[in-house]
Amino acid sequence: MPELPEVETTRRGIAPHVINKKVRAVVIRQQCLRWPIPAALATALAGRHITRVGRRAKYLIFYLEHGSVLLHLGMSGSLRVMEAAIPPDKHDHVDIVFHDHTCLRLRDPRRFGSIHWTEQDPLQHPLLRHLGPEPLGATFTGERLYALSRGRTQSVKIFIMDSRIVVGVGNIYASEALFRSGIHPLRRAGNISLKRYGALTGAIRDVLNAALAKGGTTLRDFVGGDGAPGYFKLDLNVYDRAGEPCRVCAGNIRQIRQGQRSTYYCPRCQR
DNA sequence: ATGCGGACCTGTTAGC
DNA sequence: TGCTAACAGGTCCGCA
């Protein structure tokens, strides 16, 4: 699922339905996600309450009295709150079952997601510790991107998708933000002016905020029933539009490969 | 330190 | 219609 706006929308959707709930049991049907689910998870959670649901990058953080669950949705993960008695789908790998007979159910067909348990400050977990700033936070600035990019030879698209530089910029919104700021995705990161990095940070913020707003208005059900929430797509200018006309200049949108991922751009609008 | 490729896994679609 | 290959919204690890 996860671009950042989907993860944040998931957090907001499920939080009211899991906060202050007491865990009865953890049901693990498939132990092997990206990493094995910690064996201690069920014991650690039983009888405890979820006090808060947070997020860092694309990791959801479930705070309990004595520790935290880190949960990443990978490429295909989704979460729903439902009656625990509803039979699980083939790819419903984990239930956190509450005393009121509802459960938080993780579905993840590709199993690129992961679950971790920590009794330390979750933000100091090895997977979170070295992450860059949140793209919607105050420390994500053009000055910062400019400073970090000096001397870098890699392309700007790869650069802004590096989670040590800034978190939460996935493949779709990397292309979209570069389009909005008029920057060619193949341009070397170290060769871009401070002014253009200012535009790029603004574009990243705008694109994520727009998707978040859309997620808010099209908020599908994270609660009840069958199936999982689908993806919402912002109106995209370039992503998945190869060969179609640019909405600004009517030129042909191009598709290339960068680091084994597709990149889309307008060769006339982006330099 | 930086930059690149490979790895994890299943489902869907494009192409022959 | 059926088989196969390529691709999909992530990101961590290890090697040069």
What average pLDDT does this structure show over A235-259?
Answer: 95
Q: Are residues A109 and A25 in the same domain?
A: yes
Q: In this structure, is the CB of residue A32 within 7 Å of any atom belonging to strand B?
A: yes
What average pLDDT does this structure show over A89-109?
Answer: 97
What's the Cα-to-Cα distance from A122 to each of A35, A44, A66, A178, A190, rounded to whole Å? Answer: 17, 15, 11, 32, 33
Å between CA of A72 and C1' of C5:
29
Q: Quick check: is A135 in a domain?
A: no
Q: Quick check: is A191 in a domain?
A: yes
Question: CA A94, CA A108: separation in Å to the nearest integer?
Answer: 9
**A103 has pLDDT over 80:** yes
Q: Which nucleotide is nearest to A172 (CA to C1')?
A: C9
Question: CA A25, CA A12: separation in Å to the nearest integer?
Answer: 23
Single residue among A129, A162, A183 that ends a domain in this structure: A129
Tell me, what's the pLDDT at A170?
A: 96
Question: Which CATH number covers residue A119?
Answer: 3.20.190.10
Q: In this structure, is the CB of residue A34 within 7 Å of any atom belonging to strand B?
A: yes
Q: Which of A118-127, A159-168, A217-226, A235-244 has the lowest mean pLDDT?
A: A217-226
Spell out residues with C-beta < 7 A from strand C.
A 1-3, 6, 34, 57-58, 72, 74-75, 110, 112, 127, 163, 170-172, 231-233, 260-262
Which positions in strand B are less than 7 Å from the protein's CB atoms?
2-11
Q: In this structure, is the CB of residue A110 within 7 Å of any atom belonging to strand B?
A: yes
Q: Are residues A8 and A123 in the same domain?
A: yes
Residue A234 banded pLDDT, cuts 50, 70, 90: confident
Q: Quick check: is A259 in a domain?
A: yes
Q: Quick check: is A230 in a domain?
A: yes
Tell me, what's the pLDDT at A100?
A: 98
Across all residues in chain A, what is the average pLDDT? 95
**A235 has pLDDT over 80:** yes
How would you classify residue A110: left for phi > 0, otherwise alpha for psi between -120 and 50, otherwise beta?
alpha
Q: Are residues A246 and A214 in the same domain?
A: yes
Catalytically active residues of A are: 2-3, 58, 261
Q: Quick check: is A223 in a domain?
A: yes
**A104 has pLDDT over 70:** yes
Q: Which nucleotide is nearest to A91 (CA to C1')?
A: B10
Q: Are residues A148 and A258 in the same domain?
A: yes
Å between CA of A53 and C1' of C16:
41
- Residues 170-189 of chain A sitting with CB below 7 angstroms of strand B: 189
Q: Are residues A119 and A187 in the same domain?
A: no
Tell me, what's the pLDDT at A46?
A: 98
Å between CA of A45 and C1' of C2:
48
Q: Are residues A155 and A103 in the same domain?
A: no
For B10, nearest residue by CA–C1' is A110
Q: Quick check: is A271 in a domain?
A: no
Q: Are residues A196 and A239 in the same domain?
A: yes
Tell me, what's the pLDDT at A156?
A: 98
Q: Are residues A116 and A9 in the same domain?
A: yes
Q: Are residues A112 and A184 in the same domain?
A: no
Tell me, what's the pLDDT at A215?
A: 84
Tell me, what's the pLDDT at A76?
A: 94
Q: Quick check: is A215 in a domain?
A: yes
Å between CA of A76 and C1' of C1:
30
Q: Quick check: is A137 in a domain?
A: no
Query: Domain range spanning residue A70?
Result: 4-129
Q: Are A252 and A243 in contact (CB under 8 A)?
A: yes
Single residue among A101, A129, A157 that ends a domain in this structure: A129
**A224 has pLDDT over 80:** no
Residue A1 banded pLDDT, cuts 50, 70, 90: low
Å between CA of A159 and C1' of C14:
20
Question: Structure tokens of A268?
Answer: 């006339």
Q: Are residues A12 and A102 in the same domain?
A: yes
Question: Among A13, A123, A23, which Cα is nearest to A65's?
Answer: A23
Tell me, what's the pLDDT at A27?
A: 98
Q: Are residues A150 and A49 in the same domain?
A: no
Q: Are residues A252 and A229 in the same domain?
A: yes
Tell me, what's the pLDDT at A217?
A: 74
Tell me, what's the pLDDT at A22?
A: 98
What average pLDDT does this structure show over A253-269?
Answer: 96
Q: Which of A165-169, A193-197, A227-231 has the lowest mean pLDDT?
A: A227-231
State the total domains in chain A.
2
Question: Which CATH number covers residue A182?
Answer: 1.10.8.50
Single residue among A129, A159, A192 that ends a domain in this structure: A129
CA-angle at A139, arms to A10 and A218, nearest 5°: 25
How would you classify residue A32: left for phi > 0, otherwise alpha for psi between -120 and 50, otherwise beta?
beta
Å between CA of A6 and C1' of B10:
21
What average pLDDT does this structure show over A38-51?
Answer: 97
